[in-house]
Structure 1
Amino acid sequence: MIILSTAAIRRIEQREMSDGVSQEELMERAGKGCAERILEAFPGKRRVLALIGRGNNGGDGLVIARRLARAGWEATVFLSSEKAELGALCARQLAEWERQGGRTAPSGSPPPWGAADLVLDALLGIGMSGELRGALADLVATLNSERARRFLRTIAIDTPSGLWEGASPASPAVVADLTLTIGYGKEFLFREALSRFVGRIEVVPIFSTGEESAASEAIVPEELARWLPRRSAHSHKGQFGRVLLLGGSRGFTGAPAMAAHAAHRVGAGLVTLGVREEIYPIVASRCLPETMVFPISDLSLLSANRARATAVAIGPGLGLDRTAEELLADLVEANESPMVLDADALTLLARNPALFDRFRFPAILTPHPGEMGRLLGREIKDEEREEAARELVERLPVTLVLKGTRTLVVRKGEPFWYNTTGNPGLAAGGSGDTLLGVVAGLIAQGIPSWEAAKLGVWLHGQAADRLLQARGVEEGVLATEVAESLGGAIATIRAAAARVLREREEPLWEGS
């Protein structure tokens, strides 16, 4: 899904209306699509407080509130301005809300924060520019304070109110847990420096026309489904590839086991794990029984497993000593399969950049910002991520997965691809090891490295999102639990693709 500037999205909206689609119809499409995403993200009957602005964003919020109330939710509307100040479309949606018995908080009273566990931010859309001031700035500050005090979940419609193309990390803006951006992704929403305001992103399509290409794209589930077809009943393990994982050292026995766990759970047919002999008994006892563990000191086993592998991953807990350096150099020299490199393998590459000249097969690097800085020889700030990513892939023949709140996937000659899933539960040890196993497990099944990188980061984040949905809190999410949640994340991709097909057959704006 392409990511566009605010000006480009306005042009598409004008084109749509020139083709005969009314603003009211676009509003119904947006409201219905957002309501469906909210019902999926927050199952069960909930209490929602919709903060309504006076423009079209407020109208979107009223459509959403109406649909949530129809689904059995307890919905309350709070108007940020007097009824007489509402725009024409917003006023019509308010009249429809009240005609259907919707509850509106009394004028002049403060928002009834205690009446909700979810807050809908429909105060301002992409029409704003400049910093928030006055009563609206005060309302946004109060919302953020109540979110923190009452542990509310905030859902921003189109964009968190107060964010715009000139916003900075110091701007007064709504802190959202989920942003439902309408039509297309907006460029400023994907900036790492603004990610604390945006939270998780979902794109809600409403236009039947649009641009065909852009400099950036959002990774969305419906576009990933073709890489995860249903398996034939006439299948065997050899059809789904073989992962060879190499890692582990004294004191770091869990990292390779977690990577192997994830490779299994994403569907690899066979997973083999090579570790140092001194930790072999410990790792073998910690792995799933399906994992075939061997000591890398047995060179005949190492050679045989390398020859059979359809994907190779190296780095988790590998260590930085001479043994690790020699293992990495030998692997790069002799490997005949696509590779994924993470953790200590990246630090060793930064020390020995000449190894890149020996790569014979596609390689994926999955650095966090610190590792990225080592690869480039300088510190990488949030606002420099895109520039640094482009510099690295222009210099090296690799696919880059630059981890962060908004993980970035890029290779030479391609747009930037931004992940849209994940939550703070992933800020824990083992997350990177799990991602490594996911990407390697996908490549092993025959998915091209470039597609496996995008698919892998989305699945990894979605698995964590499903855990958050089930547990209710980000704290304590374990990497092994993320691996166990991968099956549900795969099901989410297939469900999203099926939903898009239904919407094309039965347009999502039909009915109100």
Structure 2
Amino acid sequence: MIPLLTADEMRAAERQAIEAWGIPSLVLQEHAALGALALIPRGEPVQVLAGPGNNGGDALALARLARLEGRDVAVWCPVPQPEWRGDAAHQARLWVGLGGGIGTSAAPADLMRTWRGWVVDGLFGLGTTRPLEGAAAAWVQALNASGLPVLALDLPSGLDPSCAEVPGVAVRATRTACFGAMKVCHGLMPAREACGEITVVPIPLDRSPEAAMHLLERPALTPRAWNAHKGSFGHVVIRAGSLGMSGAAVLASLGALRVGAGLVTVLTDPDVRAEIAAQVPEAMVRPWQGKVPPEADVLLVGPGGVAQVPDWEGPLVLDASALKEGEGKRWMDRPGTAITPHPGEFARLFGLPRPLLMDERLAQARQVSAGRPGVLLLKGAQSVLAGGACDELWINPTGHPGMATGGSGDLLAGMVAGFRAQGLPMREAVAAAAWFHGAAGDRLPGPGLVPRDLADQLPRLLRD
């Protein structure tokens, strides 16, 4: 998985390298500047925007190194006579000592019409927590309107490194040289969109930074034994389907089967047993008689209008109608349980405002999952996985808006149950289902797909 650091987590990693390992902060800055300079095509002139803090220090170091390479370089600051701070003051002295000047302008748009080559954005970095104002905002707006290619140092100015949202005007970078490790803004939309092409530039840290948030990568699944049989891969039981909503039971069973569950039994309302059986001959379809069969390895409840959760002590996946108002804490306190709400269901489950922004989704997922054994998958663009007695948030990056269609969640719930039946711990089963579900959609870009299209992609995706 890919760690996504907050500003505080990145500062802690740098502080550890400086104070405990003994590497000077200027050495970190030189490594960052060298790595960033390598991302600008050779021979291109460079216009460097430098702010007064450490990000400006990175920019001034890059300007000096580019000048020493023989490039045409100019340095600019939105305000005259900036008060350089910390290492930036040292870098400014080096730049001026090399014969460099630092210009400014009250009309940045007019100035930028005379520029050629690349612009380096080193105005603001890790310390950004509020929207840009005044001269800084005017320079960023002019830069975005200029059409010039932009390399952002660590992150585009105007982004908060610890947030997914864009708080105001922000640089729209062509490329971003991300120093040391990706930050939250590099991994999550909509901030991610402002970063352009992201390259992680290594800097000398003595250990991998610790992060409370990670982006999912393709899960590593255990290869099957040569002599495996259907009993080796678990038995999924699905309590789903009612009159007018039999398709949800079909899709949930397909989800479990397509990720490799050995056996699937659908327990459905008697009125729809025959129509479900006709559509999924690979599953055993039986009328619900009030009891979960003892051979079940995992139980999925909810798709297709089934609200009542049977008595069952084993692994449990709840979706759709089984996610009843006010019952979120109950299920998050139950070990071996996964709930898969969309934002509206989530709000009803926990009595919270419906989360609309990504940062709200992250905060609320943390709030309801802290210290609890149940696993939450808050569905939507960039689904959020939390809980399972783990403090980390895992974010799923796969999928696209064309997957926003009825039945997609039923297929996903079946996939969760299918992976859990095969022996994955519940949190890992949810992660695998979310990632492969979205990855199946990524093979079919654009609108018009239906959940069966996703199911058909899964066997090939699992083999690749």
What TM-score, normalized by structure 2, do the two folds share?
0.68
> Which of these residues, 478, 491, 509, is aligned with residue 450 of structure 2?
478
Where does residue 261 of structure 2 map in the other structure? 268
Structure number with higher helix proportion: 1
Q: Is the 8 A contact 1:316 1:433 kept in 2?
A: yes
Q: Is the 8 A contact 1:121 1:160 kept in 2?
A: no
Where does residue 431 of structure 1 map in the other structure? 408
| Whole-Å separation in 1 of the counterparts to 2:382 and 2:268 | 32
| Whole-Å separation in 1 of the counterparts to 2:217 and 2:152 | 20
Amino acid at match of 2:239: L
Where does residue 320 of structure 2 map in the other structure? 343
Amino acid at match of 2:448: G
**Which structure's relative contact order is higher, taking Cα pairs within 8 Å and 6+ residues apart?**
1
> Which of these residues, 129, 133, 137, is aligned with residue 133 of structure 1?
137
Does residue 183 of the first structure (1) align with residue 176 of the second (2)?
Answer: no
Does residue 457 of the first structure (1) align with residue 450 of the second (2)?
Answer: no
* Residues 221/358 of structure 1: CA separation in 2 closer, same or farther (3 Å cut): closer
> Which of these residues, 324, 331, 338, is aligned with residue 364 of structure 1?
338
| Whole-Å separation in 1 of the counterparts to 2:175 and 2:274 | 44
Written as runs of structure 1 = structure 2, the 5 A alignment for 1:36-435 is: 56=33, 60=35, 63-64=38-39, 79=46, 81=48, 87-89=60-62, 92=65, 123=121, 126-127=125-126, 129=128, 131=132, 133-140=137-144, 159-165=155-161, 169-173=166-170, 183-188=180-185, 209-210=206-207, 213-214=210-211, 216-221=212-217, 224-225=219-220, 228-287=221-280, 289=281, 291-297=282-288, 299=289, 303=291, 306-317=293-304, 319=305, 324-325=306-307, 328-329=308-309, 331=310, 333=311, 335-347=312-324, 350=325, 362-381=336-355, 382=357, 383-393=359-369, 398-411=374-387, 413-422=389-398, 423-435=400-412
Q: CA deviation at 1:294?
A: 1.2
| Whole-Å separation in 1 of the counterparts to 2:270 and 2:420 | 27
Where does residue 442 of structure 1 map in the other structure? 419
| Whole-Å separation in 1 of the counterparts to 2:196 and 2:413 | 23
* Residues 209/396 of structure 1: CA separation in 2 closer, same or farther (3 Å cut): closer
* Residues 194/88 of structure 1: CA separation in 2 closer, same or farther (3 Å cut): closer
> How high is the sequence identity, in percent, across the aligned residues?
28
Secondary structure at 1:307 match in 2: coil
Q: Deviations over 1:322-363 (max 9, x none)?
A: xx34xx23x2x1x2431111111113xx2667975996x511
Secondary structure at 2:397 match in 1: coil
| Whole-Å separation in 2 of the counterparts to 1:395 and 1:14 | 29
Q: CA deviation at 1:370?
A: 0.7
Q: CA deviation at 1:446?
A: 0.5
Q: CA deviation at 1:441?
A: 1.2
Where does residue 106 of structure 2 map in the other structure? none
| Whole-Å separation in 1 of the counterparts to 2:431 and 2:209 | 19
Q: CA deviation at 1:421?
A: 1.1
Q: Is the 8 A contact 2:35 2:201 kept in 1?
A: no
| Whole-Å separation in 2 of the counterparts to 1:89 and 1:19 | 20
Secondary structure at 1:272 match in 2: strand
What TM-score, normalized by structure 1, do the two folds share?
0.63
Q: CA deviation at 1:4?
A: 2.8
| Whole-Å separation in 1 of the counterparts to 2:422 and 2:414 | 12
Secondary structure at 1:308 match in 2: coil
Amino acid at match of 2:169: P
Amino acid at match of 2:435: W
* Residues 286/63 of structure 1: CA separation in 2 closer, same or farther (3 Å cut): farther
Secondary structure at 1:133 match in 2: helix
Q: CA deviation at 1:462?
A: 3.2
Q: CA RMSD in A?
A: 4.7
Q: Is the 8 A contact 2:10 2:209 kept in 1?
A: no
Q: Deviations over 1:101-121 (max 9, x none)?
A: xxxxxx957889xxxxxxx99
| Whole-Å separation in 2 of the counterparts to 1:126 and 1:11 | 15
| Whole-Å separation in 2 of the counterparts to 1:91 and 1:20 | 19
The count of residues paired between Structure 1 and Structure 2 equals 403
Bigger Rg over Cα: 2
Secondary structure at 1:340 match in 2: strand
Secondary structure at 1:257 match in 2: helix
Unaligned stretches of 5+ residues in structure 1: 28-55, 70-75, 99-106, 113-119, 148-153, 493-512
Q: Is the 8 A contact 1:141 1:174 kept in 2?
A: no
Unaligned stretches of 5+ residues in structure 2: 50-55, 72-111
Amino acid at match of 2:321: D
Q: Is the 8 A contact 1:261 1:483 kept in 2?
A: yes
